[in-house]
Structure 1
């Protein structure tokens, strides 16, 4: 349900002041608005319009969530703790409704911006060769006793990579496999209508043949060389360079894997990356269990209410969050709790709680204090979370060093009594 603030102002004036029959409507509305503006500021007039609309449309405000589109900072003003007078009364009356405040945007300007963004096209310059128009092809071949394979790595001017591995179903020497890799890569780039191409290979013989530095004496090498040169003539511009094997590792890996696979079997080999080890690392102190609390569970609703004014759907939970939010504030995107006598307290997430407890308990200046002393020390350092005492006590109980080196009382719990033997 969306309502405009300007419509609220006019409707509130009409509801509060009945229109006389002997006066014209436009003149009367302008006169009454001018009279109201002399007694109220612009912010108070906007809040009064919202309060009057809420009174007249009370069933709608109670049954539906209301979104207020306005250019005035109503949310910040109505939630200030130091309100007085009629603004305080209006803020109390409006807090019973689920009102959300959003900035009022220009619809015409947004439509024009979307239209320009959708239909704008940048002209592509085909006359001047640019560095971004060059494609890069890295090739490598592998010949083994189990078979031969070719690895291709094609990179577009915008950075996209296309990898291809080809298994050769015939016996070929090392030099023949290198030529087959170049020819396969050239066929792939021609299928993509590439005009400018840079070819990189780690075979010095093949690159030197194409650059006319070496002479191809073998008849089979001569046939491969002629076919490569004929294929390169179909490109507008091309270059071929020799690189080290370490710079061509991806194409080399594709060729090696393909050459090792059996010929008659089609194998799909997906490669996954495991970021963490299968076993967890041992820590000095066993921390709080991760399933006891969420990372941002207790702060999420409060931050959302302070930032956008949204409350949970459940009425009891929404009332609880509204009451709790008065003791918190947002500073540069971080949640802080107002302290009674000291500075603001930084609210911590679950992961940050574990780090702070570990540093205070067993860090550089840690003294392995007890649970209550540890919680008080965290509070005095400017930190806060709801379960400080409970988490500190649990952390101390599971500390390995505290269990090993704690003083053990040797005195009996009660006075010993002597007994005579049988």
Structure 2
């Protein structure tokens, strides 16, 4: 929140100072006007210019050396203002349907690295939307020519970004990238500025994602448990792929009836749901792992079998014996057996017994 504003008109020869010296002069003027703040508190100076390097290099001019001595009396930290900056993404279909997206970075990045982050995020979105042909427009000439192969990528981080981008490009049938001027990219530029500022009020209007680390360091998570041999999905997959049915007529009839409810997508079997998206079908080993994480994992509640099975469905998984497997899991859970509520009611109704005289029974 801004609490103070200071301005000054450059007088005489000050107007001819180099840009870096003008910035240092502005900081010196601020220290003189806000001396009490600078003396009583540590100050953080945000700038996209290397002010610290200018003030500490040995070959600085006379006035810069004088300003460096004056500023050295205060506790000042110089920090790059690119930390917390943003980038914008705009996907436009041939029928002019538009999809906008914004990124906010919580790590320090350069302009070219931010362009690469936006390009990688846009390619990921296009891949998830099953887009096969894409033409990208970026306002960084360096990024465009590096992706085309006309410029050489220098620096370890830029080479990693370029390699990550090329890994995504090969997944498309056709790809082209073109450099455009910044004034032709006004919508995306506006999105990047929105993402770099506070955006609590934009949650329902603009989709914004916060990146806590670089995309080149992101780890892909794969299934740790692999199914071996045949399971309940095998007959359905064989029928969907090649039309093979079991020899048993009753089983073949069941498969023929069930098959329209299933679909193969990217090598995985999915089941059509009524009120939710497609449910990922899993085998026995993966089902056991899913139930264990839901019931006893980091956020596990040791709930009942019905709650565990329902949560697995809401997470997007399906297998036929969900409720039966959930009940079997709870029976083998030691914590549930130890901490279950012990019923105090008798198992059957009590029957009164009469006696002829006291203590005869």
Shorter chain as denominator, the TM-score bin is 0.3 to 0.5
TM-score of the two chains, using structure 2 as the length reference: 0.34
